[in-house]
């Protein structure tokens, strides 16, 4: 499971969803695996406005990953500044900056392979096995 | 949960979820071609849109548009393991009735061939509510500006299909999934006619692998029924139609 996915996950228990402390889920006893994928610059730019940056910072810090900067990057930060800015067709020639590479690495390539995801509201633990988190609830919690 | 809901859930566990878990890889090998209306819905999304694929199966719709981000889910762990290979998306194991997503966080959702597996009318409405709840709410004064979901269900009216059901037939049916055993060449027992083995033979450790039949529960939707439950779930139908033995609808949350 990608760290980006944690940006869109919360506790599956209905009563938790309205409690702010249910988001984000907190990784525990997690082993991480980096699975390399192609960097897609337009995708990264487009996903930026959807990122819950403060919550992602909490997750990366809980996982012991290097700190994310305090504020999210801008679209411009993701591109290497063009030396001669007036080149036509620059869209296709844009080069991913180090910031983009770092963001791609943490959001799309860093995955939770094994471990648990814990709800900050009710404490329920969801297991992650072979990279797949399982949100099925036991009967008494449905 | 009420007793009826509990029974419904238990019934679906046995007659839907357990079956898919067992037939996952065989099922997946037969599900690779996206249907055109669903493909169009996904391709017309703006770049960077974020959505859910509820009941993703093997993830065949995760291959359509790599410029959006989809969090797919399915009850079957074995199907999710197949679905998770599709970049840039991701897949989790979850139940439509208890989805692990913050409310109103998605621009779009699809749920293809899923809610026809739900066994009571109340639970069908609950499932549509759960899908609607994923979607961005409409902006004040701008109805229809909320997120959109595409829902597909099997139709009762399909008299030209292999199954041949039509108006007037029973709507709650058990549908076989046959896993063909690999045929051995020397055993030509007539055209597709299965010879009935003597019980002695059947009990021997199988040198002749047997076909295996699994039954899955389906509720076949009458014309208008999908729109009706969408209405009861508080959704608004944006567009709807019939496509190759299925009813479909694009739905958005009401103001």
The CATH number of residue B34's host domain is: 3.40.50.150
B211 and B224 co-located in one domain: no
Is the bond leading into B88 cis (omega within 30 degrees of zero)? yes
B224 and B209 co-located in one domain: no
Categorize the per-residue pLDDT at A37 as very low, low, confident or very high, splitting at 50, 70 and 90: very high
Closest-CA residue of chain B to A128: B92
Tell whether the model's pLDDT for residue A142 goes beyond 70: yes
Burial label, B254 (beta-carbon count in 10 A; 0-12, 13-18, 19+): middle
Tell whether the model's pLDDT for residue A72 goes beyond 80: yes
Q: Which residues make Cβ contacts (< 8 Å) with residue B144, sequence separation at least 6?
A: B138, B236, B238, B252
B91 and B208 co-located in one domain: no
Closest of A130, A128, A78 to residue A104, by C-alpha: A78
| pLDDT of B21 | 86
| pLDDT of B190 | 42
Tell whether the model's pLDDT for residue B194 goes beyond 80: no
CATH number of the domain bearing residue A43: 2.20.25.10
Q: Quote the number of domains for chain B.
A: 2
B208 and B241 co-located in one domain: no
Whether chain A has a CB inside 8 Å of the CB on B82: the answer is no
B70 and B142 co-located in one domain: yes
B18: part of which helix (H) or strand (E)? helix B18-29
B132 and B36 co-located in one domain: yes
B202 and B116 co-located in one domain: no
| Separation between Cα atoms, residue B78 and residue B102, nearest integer Å | 25
Decide if B165 is inside a domain.
Answer: no
Domain that holds residue B144: 3-158+220-253
Categorize the per-residue pLDDT at B193 as very low, low, confident or very high, splitting at 50, 70 and 90: very low
Q: Is A8 close to B66, i.e. CB distance below 8 A? A: no
Rounded mean pLDDT, B218-239 = 96
Mutate to test the interface with A, among B80, B100, B133, B147 (most CBs of A within 10 A): B100
Give the residues across from B54 on adjacent strands: B73
The torsion of the CA quartet A11, A27, B94, B69, rounded to 10 degrees, works out to 100
First vs last C-alpha separation in chain B:
28
What is the DSSP track for A42-86? HHHHHHGGG--HHHHHHHHHHTTPPPPPSSPPPTGGGBPPPSSTT
Q: Is A134 close to B93, i.e. CB distance below 8 A? A: yes
B153 and B176 co-located in one domain: no
ipTM score of the complex? 0.93
Q: Which two tokens stand for residue B84?
A: 């998770």
Tell whether the model's pLDDT for residue B225 goes beyond 50: yes
| Separation between Cα atoms, residue B49 and residue B38, nearest integer Å | 16
Q: How far is CA B149 from CA B32, B108, B239, in A?
A: 21, 5, 11
Decide if B51 is inside a domain.
Answer: yes
Q: Which residues make Cβ contacts (< 8 Å) with residue B2, sequence separation at least 6?
A: none
Q: Which two tokens stand for residue A105?
A: 């690495």
Closest residue to B92, CB basis, from A42, A43, A133 = A133
Q: At what angle do helices B121-134 and B225-232 cross, to 10 degrees?
A: 70
Rounded mean pLDDT, B160-165 = 88
| Separation between Cα atoms, residue A51 and residue B133, nearest integer Å | 20
| pLDDT of B210 | 83
Decide if B80 is inside a domain.
Answer: yes
Rounded mean pLDDT, B216-226 = 95
The torsion of the CA quartet A8, A14, A20, A21, rounded to 10 degrees, works out to -90
List, in sequence order, every beta strand (DSSP E) within B40-147: 50-54, 69-74, 90-93, 108-112
Q: Is A8 close to B101, i.e. CB distance below 8 A? A: yes
Taking a C-beta distance cutoff of 8 angstroms, is the pair A13, A119 a contact?
A: yes
> What 3 state SS string does A106-137 have?
HHHHEEEEEEEEECCCCCCEEEEECCEEECCC
Decide if B146 is inside a domain.
Answer: yes
Closest residue to A135, CB basis, from B1, B87, B93 = B93
B122 and B26 co-located in one domain: yes
Q: Is A43 close to B73, i.e. CB distance below 8 A? A: no
Rounded mean pLDDT, B102-130 = 96
Decide if B163 is inside a domain.
Answer: no
Closest of A142, A138, A139 to residue A125, by C-alpha: A138
Whether chain A has a CB inside 8 Å of the CB on B187: the answer is no
| Separation between Cα atoms, residue B70 and residue B107, nearest integer Å | 10
Taking a C-beta distance cutoff of 8 angstroms, is the pair A87, A103 a contact?
A: no
Closest residue to B100, CB basis, from A2, A12, A42 = A12
Closest-CA residue of chain A to B106: A8
Rounded mean pLDDT, A44-69 = 96
| pLDDT of B209 | 75
Q: Which two tokens stand for residue B115?
A: 């809610």
Q: Which two tokens stand for residue B103?
A: 């409310």
Q: Quote the number of domains for chain A.
A: 1
B205 and B245 co-located in one domain: no
Taking a C-beta distance cutoff of 8 angstroms, is the pair B16, B57 a contact?
A: no
Q: How far is CA B170 from CA B157, B218, B222, in A?
A: 11, 11, 10
Domain that holds residue A71: 3-141
B252: part of which helix (H) or strand (E)? strand B246-253
Mean pLDDT of chain A: 93
| Separation between Cα atoms, residue B153 and residue B96, nearest integer Å | 15
Categorize the per-residue pLDDT at A139 as very low, low, confident or very high, splitting at 50, 70 and 90: confident
Q: How far is CA A77 from CA A49, A91, A100, B10, B100, in A?
A: 14, 15, 7, 52, 32
């Amino acid at each position: 499971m990608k760290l980006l996915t944690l940006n869109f996950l919360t506790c599956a228990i209905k009563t938790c969803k309205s409690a702010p402390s249910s988001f984000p889920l907190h990784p525990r006893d997690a082993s991480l695996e980096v699975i390399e994928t192609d960097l897609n610059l337009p995708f990264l730019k487009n996903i930026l406005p959807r990122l819950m940056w403060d919550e992602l910072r909490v997750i990366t810090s809980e996982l012991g990953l290097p700190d994310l900067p305090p504020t999210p990057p801008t679209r411009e930060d993701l591109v290497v500044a063009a030396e001669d800015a007036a080149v036509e067709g620059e869209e296709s020639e844009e080069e991913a900056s180090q910031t983009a590479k770092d963001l791609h690495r943490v959001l799309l390539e860093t995955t939770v392979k094994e471990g648990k995801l814990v709800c900050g509201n009710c404490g329920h633990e969801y297991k992650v096995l072979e990279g797949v988190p399982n949100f099925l609830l036991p009967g008494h919690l449905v | 949960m009420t007793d009826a809901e509990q029974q419904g859930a238990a019934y679906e566990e046995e007659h839907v979820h357990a079956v898919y878990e067992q037939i996952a890889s065989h099922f997946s090998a037969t599900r690779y071609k996206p249907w055109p209306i669903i493909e169009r819905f996904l391709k017309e999304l703006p770049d960077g849109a974020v959505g859910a694929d509820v009941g993703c199966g093997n993830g065949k719709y995760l291959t359509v548009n790599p410029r959006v981000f989809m969090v797919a889910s399915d009850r079957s762990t074995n199907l999710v393991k197949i679905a998770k290979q599709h970049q840039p998306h991701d897949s989790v194991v979850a139940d439509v009735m208890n989805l692990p997503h913050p409310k109103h966080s998605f621009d779009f959702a699809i749920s293809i061939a899923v809610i026809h597996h739900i066994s009571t009318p109340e639970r069908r409405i609950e499932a549509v509510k759960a899908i609607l709840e994923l979607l961005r709410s409409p902006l004040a004064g701008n109805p229809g500006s909320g997120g959109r979901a595409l829902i597909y269900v099997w139709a009762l009216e399909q008299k030209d299909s292999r199954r041949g059901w039509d108006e007037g037939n029973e709507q709650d049916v058990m549908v076989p999934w046959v896993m063909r055993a690999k045929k051995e060449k020397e055993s030509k027992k007539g055209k597709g006619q299965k010879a009935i083995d003597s019980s002695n033979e059947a009990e021997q450790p199988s040198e002749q692998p047997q076909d295996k039949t699994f039954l899955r529960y389906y509720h076949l939707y009458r014309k208008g029924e999908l729109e009706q439950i969408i209405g009861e779930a508080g959704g608004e139908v944006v567009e709807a139609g019939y496509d190759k033995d299925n009813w479909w609808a694009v739905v958005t949350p009401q103001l």
